[in-house]
Structure 1
Amino acid sequence: MNASISALLQQAVTQVQQGNIAAAEGILVPLNMRTPGHPDVLHLLAMAAKQKGDHDRAEHFFRESLKASPGQAAVHANLANMLAHLDRTDEALASYRKAVEIEPGFATGWHNLALMLSETADHDGALDAAKKYEGLVKRTAASAELFASIYQHAGNFLAARDTLEDFLARDPNNARGWNVLGSLLRKDAEFNAAAKAFEKARSLGFHDPDMYQNLAEAYYEEQELGKAVSVLDAAVQTLPDNGQLHYVRAKFRWESMPDEDHLAALKQAIPKQPNNISLWGAYFDLLSHEGRFEDILKGLSEAYRFNIRAPRLSLAEAVALSRTEKLDEATAVFEKLLQTDPDSAPPKLNYASHLMKAGDPEKAEKLCADVLAADPGNQKAWTFRGTAWQLMGDDRANWLFDFERMVNPVDVDPPEGYDSRETFFEAARQELDNLHRMQSHPLDQTLRGGTQTNGFLFRIKNPVLQALRTQINKAVEKVIADFPDDADHPFWCRRSAGFDFSGAWSVRLKSQGYHTNHFHPEGWLSSALYIALPQEVKTGSGTEGHIQFGVPTVEMGVELAPGRIVKPEVGRLVLFPSYMWHGTIPFTSDEPRMTVAFDVVPKP
């Protein structure tokens, strides 16, 4: 290869690895004109486009590179990685298989093929691929983790645990292996054993951010809040530049120690690393959750003194300006953001929200349509587009938000062994009470005046909660069975042969507690199941404590009447599209209002 071309390619590789995509393309585009059909240039152009999120362009360059030189295992594998991310599973599998066919010694290819086969429930094929991987890398923590993951997907927790424990018996000082075991145990709600495994990994020098978060959660679930706080304190001391750890620590302290300054460690860390965008971003995210937008603007003026410029900070500025009623200034920042990064969804959707507040729903609707053209399943874009349609008087709003057909109240029956619905849900209330351990609402959630349980509720090995899950499954199946077939509708079209939980939790509201109006961006079907209700809600003639649908968040600054209000009843489950606005009307009582909520997604 020509020496100058080789040097330019290496420069481009460095820029791509550092995320400097504009600089990389500045090298690669003229190089592609100079050496048309060069497979390495085309491959790097594909990787640059992939990082930008331009998947059509990336796929074009991947396939052009392979057309120029079909025998590139790494290119097949990188194309497969992108196809897997886009849920084009069959094509991804074909590309992974081609990669290992071309290069049988390609360990990473076998590893990724095994994971994808496992995710598609081809457990035997996954095990065969994992054996090929292990044969190449020998018995390592990575190979043990791969086998454990395959067994987990197959529902064989004992085999997964045995695999890791067998590996650690042979290599007891492998820190990564202990961390993987801890993660497995945590997912299976073996919190005490998980904490011991994580502590072993930590003692062996493993200091991964996720490990600290998982260890803190394990202590929390074991009702050892003091240890959980100490772990997160140690985390930000050990990894002081990690904004996510600072965020988690501050959030945990907000919930568990509401009288303390939860931002103290972060405010101390930023002056020591004033150019760390991760720390500034965590700080602004936390302030945003508290509605402290004037403080965000003050913080941004300080950050800009250090010549920090990043889309993340500009977006925080635009949102803060909008929330503080500086509408024209916000519009200017949003417009500049779109010019700088025209393909990014978050600026477009935040701008759409601002535009509705500023009285321009037509332009907001067009931005949402742009996002949906690239990502048809974007729930936030559907929520905002529907709101824009409502403000425009467009009949498509009624098509998207069909409150009568899409909001489905259904009674959950008690399981065998309980003489009534009241007896069963009283038993559920008692078990859930034990899981509400915090003092304040989660900082980054929608509830106000109450508490929320931690983690996926139905992982808890409690017979009452597992019975509750079974009864919920039956009720959800009953509702979904009556859904219409409509391939052109973004909600109805997603129905499949089954569903999975993507999250489940419990909320306990006290007097004047409520949920702000919100939607769930990651779900398909969302819910509220009423476990316990104050007498005032049960027998009251008004709408206190009821759930309402169709009212946007107050921050959007638009006035829309509820499309439907549903009165809660103990044992009643209300199911609705995740993209639909919903919230709780405050109530007054000495008794709490307790719910279980969850999101489900269709099975592939």
Structure 2
Amino acid sequence: MAREALDSGRGEEALEQLSLLEAAIGQHVAVIHLQALALRSLQREAEANAKFLLARRIEKPPFDPYLCANHAALQEKLGYIAEAEKSFDDAWQKAPERSDICMARLGFIHRQFGEKAAISAYNVMTAMFPESTALRHRYALFLQKIDSTAAALRETEHVLKLNPNLSGALHLKARLELDGGCGNAVASYTKAKEHDPNDLSITQGLAAAIWNRDGAVAALHFLDAQLETQPEWINGWALRARIAWQSGQAEEALSGYQRACSRLPMNDMLWMRRLEDVAKMEGSSKSIEIALQRGGLLELPPLLRGALAEITSTAGDLQNADALFDSLSENQVPHISYVRHLIRKHQYAKALELAERHAMHFNDMDSWVYVWTLWRVLADSRLEWLEAQGRLVSYVDISEFQTLQGQLVQKLKQLHAQMAQHPFDQSPRGGTQTDGHLFARTDPEIVHLRSLVHDAVKQVVADLPPVDPAHPFLSGPRQSVRYTGSWSIRLQNSGFHEAHYHSQGWMSSALYVALPDTLGTSANSAEGWLELGKPPHDLGLDLEPLALIEPKVGRLALFPSILWHGTRPFPKGERLTVAFDIKAAE
């Protein structure tokens, strides 16, 4: 009963039941272990640590390796790194054959000591159990996370030699080949789909692989066949729209959603996705026009009214947006959309109250974006703390970049060649964006680029202000980082980025690969420059950028992901960049 309560997130109830059990049977290691876990779940970490220490002190053989491993995780969180290292080592020595214990230890080594140390530790582990499919499979997933795609593929192929029908490994092999731009991803996805035909993430990957190899027409044909039998697959319709749009087939992107909604006229999730995507492709007016085909705006289901409230507000129709927001109950209102709406109405104090509640109580990164913006509008005294005296924004000129530039430009242009226009749900305007995770590719130019970038990132992260547990950017661990997304942008002739932010990232970037000679040369003529801190025009705020960064070939700009960033248009030519988001290693 106590374990069930703990697993269900009812920590207080678990503690009560464990106290009754302890009163009946006296001190017992398993009971104390569960008490420690319950206390940890309730953020009572000092008490949890004391319980772990007690349990480990009185424990007798046979030892439970998970007691050490769970204690180690808490010690790491508390900053007791040497103690955590010893506890992870103890757990592994007690159960070296358990892949989850091995990977927990490996994750700790990666977070605290970096990628090379983690790989060395794994080599010791796998030497003990070279035929462990579970360990090798987990390690391949780890290698995938650190963008070591070629090594991850080797591990995955070894796993498949040991167990040719392991569905997870079949899917991983296909994904690695797609992301890495190597092997035969279509064949690998086809095989994975044969083993697991109901996994729609495999179907989605196969569509992407067909698009990459055979082009948009073939990918759309494949998706149409899948959607004919699975019309409820909303992500499939969204992928279809994205492929059609990026290949220059705007009408085809719109018509797919029209067919979908004709088949499923009451599927609110599908309609919401359609309305949001159409607003990004064709503008708010077109989206509202489509919504009216379903019925009067105030007569639509709450899910659609919430989406349309944001769409009408963005279009400047504040009166209809008011009516839509007012028609929703408090728990139905999308709070970020409402914050944005309040800003457009110049109700800054009310917007800030809502944004602060979600930012500070739930550490919601979307909300922190608007807290930062509104503190600037209202000249809040906390701005100095939040902006850390300007030390959150920096750039590095990578000295070795010139030796890579020519080959890198050629490779990136190849990747851009199949794209006709920008993704409708991303920030570029007047250009294209590569698909997939760029740093996962196995091309020598990309592998070299990641290495140069990683060294620069480590330098910048090391120079950040000290950890501040209350700060949205400076609060977390940063000994080791990983790349959660990476891509290239090609802007041409008056191209620019709309102001945006990345709530799923921690630190974002812009690396300048090739530049036209038409960019501005000073802050007074800053065509093509990076603007940091300037909100999008639709919010109606007259805030100047916090920083302007001049593009230079080989320059890497780094800044908080929750800081508005965009670029100014430039007259003509081509501007080629690489961008990525990073987070602390998990």
TM-score with structure 2 setting the length: 0.76
The correspondence of residues 494-509 of structure 1 with structure 2, limited to 5 A, is 494=476, 496-509=478-491
Quick one: higher RCO (CA 8 Å, sep 6+), 1 or 2?
A: 2
Q: Which amino acid in structure 2 is aligned with residue 548 of structure 1?
A: E
The residue aligned with 1:483 is 464
Distance change (3 Å), C-alpha of 1:306 and 1:558: closer
The residue aligned with 1:447 is 428
Distance change (3 Å), C-alpha of 1:446 and 1:361: same
- Whole-angstrom distance in 2 between the partners of 1:160 and 1:499: 24
Deviates more, 1:488-497 or 1:449-458: 488-497
| Pick aligned residue for 2:355 from 350, 360, 368 | 368
The residue aligned with 2:87 is none
Q: Deviations over 1:118-140 (max 9, x none)?
A: 65569999x99xx9xxxxxxx9x
The residue aligned with 1:186 is 178
- Determine if the alignment matches structure 1 residue 429 to structure 2 residue 406: no
- Whole-angstrom distance in 2 between the partners of 1:360 and 1:307: 24
Deviates more, 1:515-524 or 1:265-274: 265-274
**Contact kept in structure 1, 2:227 and 2:236, CA below 8 Å:** yes
The residue aligned with 1:216 is 207
CA root-mean-square deviation? 4.3
Q: Deviations over 1:89-144 (max 9, x none)?
A: x989x99958x99xxxxxxxx9987876665569999x99xx9xxxxxxx9xxx96
**Contact kept in structure 2, 1:275 and 1:306, CA below 8 Å:** no
- Determine if the alignment matches structure 1 residue 152 to structure 2 residue 141: yes
- Whole-angstrom distance in 1 between the partners of 2:293 and 2:100: 44
The residue aligned with 1:569 is 552
Q: Which amino acid in structure 2 is aligned with residue 370 of structure 1?
A: R
Q: Which amino acid in structure 1 is aligned with residue 371 of structure 2?
A: R
The residue aligned with 2:496 is 514
SS in 1 for 2:519: helix
| Pick aligned residue for 1:284 from 275, 278, 288 | 275
- Whole-angstrom distance in 1 between the partners of 2:490 and 2:282: 22
| Pick aligned residue for 1:164 from 144, 160, 167 | 160
- Whole-angstrom distance in 2 between the partners of 1:165 and 1:260: 46
Q: Deviations over 1:160-217 (max 9, x none)?
A: 321124322xx5xx76764344234435x15443221211234567142211221122
SS in 2 for 1:449: strand
- Whole-angstrom distance in 1 between the partners of 2:450 and 2:198: 36
- Whole-angstrom distance in 2 between the partners of 1:441 and 1:499: 28
| Pick aligned residue for 1:547 from 524, 530, 533 | 530
SS in 1 for 2:252: coil
**Contact kept in structure 1, 2:492 and 2:574, CA below 8 Å:** yes
The correspondence of residues 186-205 of structure 1 with structure 2, limited to 5 A, is 186-187=178-179, 189=180, 191-203=182-194
**Contact kept in structure 1, 2:391 and 2:465, CA below 8 Å:** no
The residue aligned with 2:512 is 530
| Pick aligned residue for 1:236 from 210, 215, 227 | 227
The residue aligned with 2:370 is 384
SS in 1 for 2:475: helix
**Contact kept in structure 1, 2:298 and 2:327, CA below 8 Å:** no
The residue aligned with 1:134 is none
The residue aligned with 2:393 is 407
User: Structure 1 unaligned runs (5+)?
Assistant: 1-37, 51-57, 102-109, 132-138, 416-420
- Whole-angstrom distance in 2 between the partners of 1:293 and 1:576: 31
The residue aligned with 1:492 is 474
Give the superposition deviation at 1:318.
Answer: 1.5
The correspondence of residues 256-275 of structure 1 with structure 2, limited to 5 A, is 256-275=247-266
- Whole-angstrom distance in 1 between the partners of 2:391 and 2:192: 52
| Pick aligned residue for 2:379 from 393, 401, 404 | 393
Give the superposition deviation at 1:224.
Answer: 4.0
**Contact kept in structure 2, 1:426 and 1:531, CA below 8 Å:** no
Give the superposition deviation at 1:553.
Answer: 1.2
Distance change (3 Å), C-alpha of 1:539 and 1:247: same
Q: Which amino acid in structure 1 is aligned with residue 187 of structure 2?
A: K
**Contact kept in structure 2, 1:494 and 1:602, CA below 8 Å:** yes
TM-score with structure 1 setting the length: 0.73
The correspondence of residues 59-70 of structure 1 with structure 2, limited to 5 A, is 59-61=11-13
